[in-house]
Structure 1
């Protein structure tokens, strides 16, 4: 695990409103990370091609593409805020309550 990568990811951690994320959702690039996971851990695993971890999170539905229901809710509240982290070509998002 590279601490340089972790530092770079930490610097790129941001907050965004759904309005800003819509274009990414339209190109199917948004990945929702549940609050049980650390956004940085997920980003680091994806960046390092850590397939076993990523696959386990997908299997446990801890990371997933947004559902139609979620997209509908968020499109209805475009100021909803998310923690975001870009890991090309994806945008990882985590809901902020």
Structure 2
């Protein structure tokens, strides 16, 4: 798969989502949280290309992970919470959108 066309396709699929939209995906256990210091598109590209070395590194550093029960509980209390979201089948990669003062 060509990297440029993959990156263009992923960029096109990048969107924002409210917490409520993510709940069905949480229930299917396909949501992956991507920490702020990582580029969401770069992570999506690595997953799409099955780049196990990068993905395993991010997992070991806890930079990507399944949502923790505490996070889910917190977000359930904030239904308007927004995320950057990227679908990389079968996963939904999300990053919390920070609201700056």
The answer to whether TM tops 0.5 is: yes
5+ residue gaps, structure 2, are none
Unpaired runs of 5+ residues, structure 1, are none
Moved over 3 A (4+): none
Query: Any idea what the Cα deviations from partners look like across 1:20-49, whole Å, max 9, x if unmatched?
Result: 000000000100000000000000000000
Give the equivalent residue in structure 2 for 1:18: 19
Aligned-partner SS, 2:32: strand
Distance 1:75 1:26 in 2: 13
Deviation track 1:47-91 (CA, whole Å, cap 9, x = no partner) reads 000000000000000000000000000011111000000001100
Aligned to 2:10: 9
1:46 aligns with 2:38: no
Map 1:1-97 → 2, pairs under 5 A: 2-97=3-98
Instruction: Provide the C-alpha distance between the structure 2 equivalents of 1:28 and 1:87, rounded to a whole number of angstroms.
Output: 14
